[in-house]
Each structure stands twice: as structure tokens, then as C-alpha cells.
Amino acid sequence: MCGIVGYLGERNTKEILLDGLKELEYRGYDSAGIAVLQGNDFANYKAVGKLINLEEKTKDFITKGFAVGIGHTRWATHGKPNELNAHPHLGEESYVVHNGIIENYAELKKELLADNIPFLSQTDTEVIVHQFEKNLKSAKNAFEAFSTTIQELEGAYAILLVTKSEPNTIFFAKEGSPMLVGINTEGEKYFASSDTPLIGQCSDVNYFEDGDYGYVSADEIAIFDRESKQKKPIFSKLTQNKLSAQKDGYRFFMEKEIYEQSDVISDTLMGRLSEDAVIFDELDKNLFDDIHEIKLCACGTSYHSALSASYLFERYSKIKTSVEIASEFRYREPIMSKDTLFIVISQSGETADTLETLKMAKKAGLKTLVICNVDNSSMVRLADSSILTRAGIEKGVASTKAFATQVTVFWMLSLYVAKLHNTLSSQEIAKQISLLREVPASVKVNDEMHEKMKRLSKRYLHGHGFFFIGRDIFFPLALEGALKLKEISYLHAEGYPSGEMKHGPIALADPELFTIALLPEHMLYEKAKSNVEELSARDSTVCVISPKIFTKADDFVQTAPHKDYMLEFFEMMVVLQVLSLEISIRLGNDVDMPRNLAKSVTVE
Ligand code: M6R
């Protein structure tokens, strides 16, 4: 995920910025850049890849005396990871760095282009600096131009801007993306998008709130709220523990990533929904022409999101869909026909088996699409088209937010195809889109649920195994719940379709067999309920997850009532993730790096 740093002070600004960016490396990035303004002189450097490339480019650049500087690590969302798209972005005499997404960038860009303002990059960010300079022409001063610009932006952002028209100042704004300013006894000021770059540099920090904007100079920190009322900074002592700061105070990266899901899904949706249509600017308009079948191929968690997608494509897009495990598909001499769209799904974009199937599909002349979290990964480079999931770097080996964003993309894609093929009415698409907008709220972890999982976890540390069961799209969710538990607790767990139990697995039922049953209100409730009752009757220990009170279970986790089964899906996904997390913590396992597993499986 992108990172921002800023500095005002007397020390060698380049070094401060690069050191700050290094502290953000753990978040993942594909390019980086800095801009330093000293008096009337700007210096700007950008490099693709690791920070060492930027260090190399800036090795002879030194500032002496007061200067202001901004820096950025970019995780590509709009536009390829190359130098032109790397931040800071230049206007005529100003530079900007930005985290988040400007939702109305296309409209703003259209107007700016009509005014003959040249654009160098494909990013949404570049509109900010041009819009600022346009406003500067009629504003009293740079701050007025900046305030006007911020009011014109829609979306999420943390922004730093420096300009020759006010050379000793950094302008900032925050809406939906984190940003803080720090101070120390030497009178220096620092900005960053998270605590870590400021540890060791600052004693006290002020965390900006959504809607805050303003400017910082050598002797002033001016903050204004959404209503343009000036407010005092509220400084608090900065923690000095870097690792815990990287985890934002969570015990494990996996826990942080579970809590992040609401924000990253907002990023996944951003700019891709209108009232009655899903917009994927990145897709060729003709991608689905002459396509009569979709084949999805992936491994592990990504395979489970592919299975989930098959329910959505057939239900909404009315298109025949099949799902394949990549390691099987690559050796089984499959028949591939040219009216099939071949979709691979991968968090990393590097999984060897999945990559191989993509090569096979290309060789067979099929149209290919990758749903991926890492731009410029091998799969993104190879596939004809790609959709990025925008989950940011995922550090926990057990995938959580990557799965959540993959399913979100598939839900959107199924509606995109439904509109193209006219398989859902426009009212139904509009309804589905309004449901999609509720996903970020449905995955917020509430304290009560987390506490309950902590307490429940102590009853599920032994036994001879777990069944996770569900019907319809809750079956792939059950598979995913079982995989999460297996990976980090080392307990035996299997996912099954609820209706399949009586065909064999129920023979295992006894009090030492734990069944985690998904009972959504809006998907085959009565059918799934009777499957659970069959297990209860055989004295299996059952934990039911449902919005509807269920009395025949040993444990019951009540989820919120939702209008639609997909929102129930997302909430139950979080419950399963937190349950696995708490069981693993109680067992004393290494949650983030479970034994025998690697984050990216680049070998067969
Ligand atoms: O990077 P990918 O999505 O291609 O990885 C596929 C699997 O290796 C991955 O999902 C794995 O199953 C995770 N450890 C699941 O938590």
C-alpha cells in the first residue's frame, strides 16, 4: 500500500525522506519518489522498484539549511508501476503526493485537458496538482487555492503538496487515508501516513481526522476541519516500538489485516461503482464478446474465491462457469475452447501452478484475465487483462483481506457481465450495487464478537477434527474457514457442503467432532438448518453462526441481520477468521508464519 512522508527542517532532507520511506517498505510498493524545495529550487527524483534504486539516483543530492520535502512509495492502482506514474507529481511549480483514490478524477481531468493542461501520468493523483495550480491563478494565496482544491475532490486521500508560491510550507489534507504530523525539540516537523517513520525522530504526534486540511511551516501548524474552522493540534506521545507500530498495535499482522478489511474493500470498490453500473476502466470493452463460458483457475484461498465466483457468475451473469485447481489442471490434458474466458486468481500473481495454467490458456488461444493483488506480477504481465484487488500488501501467510477483496471483485464482475449480457434488470443491478456499498460496513470487526471468539476458542483446542459446513456460496466459505483453521492452528479441519454430510462424513459425528455451521437467513436456511439438526442429533459438538436464534447447538454466534445473503457471507467470513486467529493464539502458534508454509509458492 502507498506510503507518504514529509519533512520541514534544517537537516539533509533527502536522507530524512529516504529513511522515512524505508520504514514504510513493509507495506509493499513498486516505485518511489521524493521532491525537495529549497528556496526557489526544486529537486525531484523517482525510481521504479526498490528504494535502493532511488538511493542510487539521489546519491549526490544534498541540502544544507532549511528545506521542505515530500516522499512517496507507490502501490499501483491507476496506471502501471513506472517512473511517470510514480509520485511526486509535478504541475508547473508544485509537487503532490497522495494515498487513496480520487473518485472524480476522470471528470476533473477532462476539464483540465480542455484547458490544455498536459498530463504526464495515468494516475488519478496528477489531477490534484493541476487543479491546485488552476485555482492558484484566481486565489489570494496558495492556501486559498489548496482549500478550494480539496473541496473539489471526491474519494479518499492523504495529500501533501509543496509549491514555489509558498516555498517554506507543506500543505496537507486527510480524508479516509491515515496521516499524522510529528514534532521534536529541535523544532523539526514530520509528516507520515503511519507512525513508523516518525519513531526515533519525533517525540509527539497529532493524528489528523477525516476532513482535516491545512498547512505546516517552520513555526506554525494550522489545521482546519471540514467546516473550515481552525482547530488546535492534539499531540500525544509517540510509541518507540517499531514492530508494534507496524502492526498498528495489533498482536499479529493477520489480526491487523482482518481489521483492515473494511478499508481495503472500500478501496476495491472506489471509482468502480455508479448508480446502475459497475465500471472496470481496465477492461477492454470487447473482452466478453463471443464468450460463452468462464473457466476459473487458482490455488488455496484464491481457489475458494474462484469457487464463490462460480455461484455469482451463473446466478447473475447466466454464464456457464467451471472452477479448477491449478495444480490438477496443468497436468490433465484439459479441453480448452476459444469461447471460454480463462480467469486466474492470485494474491501474489506468482504462484507457479496458477501461472503455468495461464500460459497453457494463452497457448491455446483463449482470452485471459487475472484477478490479482500485485501489479506488475508475472500473471498481470502475462494475462490479456487484469483487475487489481487493491488489498495492499498482505503479510500474514494465512490470507484474509486478499480473499475478501477477490470475492468483492467477483461480485462486481458478475454484475458487469450481467449488464453486458442483459441478464439482470437495471433495477436489480442498481439494488446489487447498493448492497455492494454495504460490504465495508459488514466486515467491520465489533468488540463484542471478537470477545466472544476469544472465549469460545478455549473450547475448541482438542477433539479429533472440525467440519465447516455451508450451502451454496457458503460452501466455499466453509472450505475457506477450514483452510484458515488448518493453516494456523494445525488442527484437522474439512469444509463440506451441508447436504453432503449424510453421504459419508456424518459417520464421524461424536462429541469430539466439532462442527462449525453457517446458517445464513437468506440462503437455503431451512435446508441447512435440518442438516445441522442431523449432526446435533448424533451428538456432534456444534457451533452455529447465524443471524437467527438457533437453540439446538452447543455454541451459537449471532450475526447481524442483513438484507442479502452476500452481506451475510462477508460478516460470517470475518467470524471464521477471528475464530481461527484466537484458537491459534491460544495454542501458542506463530500466527503470521505458520510452520511449513510460505506466503508465495513459486515452486511446483
Ligand atoms: O498468491 P496466491 O493467491 O496465488 O496463493 C495461492 C495460495 O498459495 C494461497 O491462497 C494459500 O492457500 C494461502 N496460504 C491461504 O491462506
Lowest-confidence segment of 28-32, 98-102, 425-429, 442-446 by average pLDDT: 28-32
Question: Residue 92: is its pLDDT beyond 80?
Answer: yes
One CATH from 3.40.50.720, 3.40.50.300, 3.60.20.10, 1.20.120.160 for 3-247: 3.60.20.10
Neighbours of 43 (CB within 10 A): 17
Q: Which among 164, 419, 431, 599 is annotated as catalytic? A: 599
User: pLDDT exceeding 90 applies to what percent of the chain?
Assistant: 80
Q: Write out the three cell numbers for 228.
A: 473550515
Q: Model confidence over 3-17: pLDDT tens digits?
A: 999 999 999 999 999
- What CATH number should be reported for the domain whose range is 447-586? 3.40.50.10490
**Considering only CA atoms, which of 163, 176, 107, 99 is closest in space to residue 135?**
163
Lowest mean pLDDT among 94-98, 119-123, 308-312: 119-123
Q: How far is the CA of 306 from the centre of ligand 1 (A)?
A: 12
- pLDDT tens for 446-476 read 999 999 999 999 989 987 899 999 999 999 9
Cis check for the bond before 81: say yes or no (omega within 30 of 0). Answer: no
Would you say the CATH fold of 447-586 matches that of 253-440? yes
Residue-level pLDDT at 240: 75
Q: Which CATH number fits domain 253-440: 3.40.50.720, 3.30.300.30, 1.10.150.240, 3.40.50.10490?
A: 3.40.50.10490
Asked if pLDDT for residue 364 goes beyond 80, the answer is: yes
| Ligand 1 nearest-atom number relative to CA 300 | 12
> Ligand 1 centroid to 427 CA: how many Å?
36
Q: How much is the pLDDT for 604?
A: 65
Strongest mean pLDDT among 99-108, 219-228, 387-396: 219-228
Angle at 64 between CA 63 and CA 67, to 5 degrees: 65
pLDDT-based confidence at residue 304 (cuts at 50, 70, 90): very high
Residue 436 CA to residue 428 CA, distance in Å, equals 12
Q: What is the pLDDT of residue 318?
A: 97
Rounded to 5 degrees, φ, ψ at 338 are: -70, -10
Rounded CA gap, 93 and 120, in Å? 15
Residue of minimum CA distance from atom 4 in ligand 1 = 346
Asked whether the predicted pLDDT for residue 442 surpasses 70, the reply is yes
448 contacts: CB under 8 Å, gap ≥ 6: none
For the question of residue 543 being annotated catalytic, the response is no
> What is the CB-side half-sphere exposure of residue 245 using CA atoms within 13 A?
17
Q: Where are the domains of the chain?
A: 3-247, 253-440, 447-586
Count Cα atoms within 13 angstroms, Cβ side, for 217. 10
Over residues 179-218, the pLDDT tens digits come to: 999 999 999 999 999 888 999 899 999 999 999 999 999 9
Residue 135 near residue 142, CB atoms below 8 Å: no
Euclidean distance between CA atoms 413 and 400, whole angstroms:
20
Q: What pLDDT score does 101 carry?
A: 84
Average the pLDDT over 498-518 and give the result.
90
Q: Taking a C-beta distance cutoff of 8 angstroms, is the pair 99, 3 a contact?
A: yes
Per the structure block, which three cell numbers stand in for 54? 532511488
Instruction: Measure 408 CA to ligand 1 centroid, in angstroms.
Output: 17
Q: Which residues contact 274 (CB under 8 A, 6 or more apart)?
A: 433
Residue 510 CB coordination number (10 Å): 12
Mean pLDDT for the chain?
Answer: 93
Please tell me the distance between residue 360's alpha carbon and the centre of ligand 1 in angstroms: 20
Among 254, 258, 296, 302, the mutation site with the greatest number of ligand 1 atoms within 8 A of its Cβ is 302
Query: Mapping DSSP to helix (H, G, I), strand (E, B) and coil, where does residue 571 land?
Result: helix
CA 247 – CA 443 distance, rounded (Å): 19
- For the segment 550-571, what is each residue's pLDDT rounded down to a tens digit? 998 999 999 999 999 999 999 9
Q: What is the pLDDT of residue 235?
A: 94
* Ligand 1 proximal residues by C-beta, below 6 Å: 299-302, 346-348, 351, 354, 397-399, 487, 597, 600-601
For ligand 1, atom 11, name the residue with the nearest CA. Answer: 300
Q: Does the active-site annotation cover 599?
A: yes
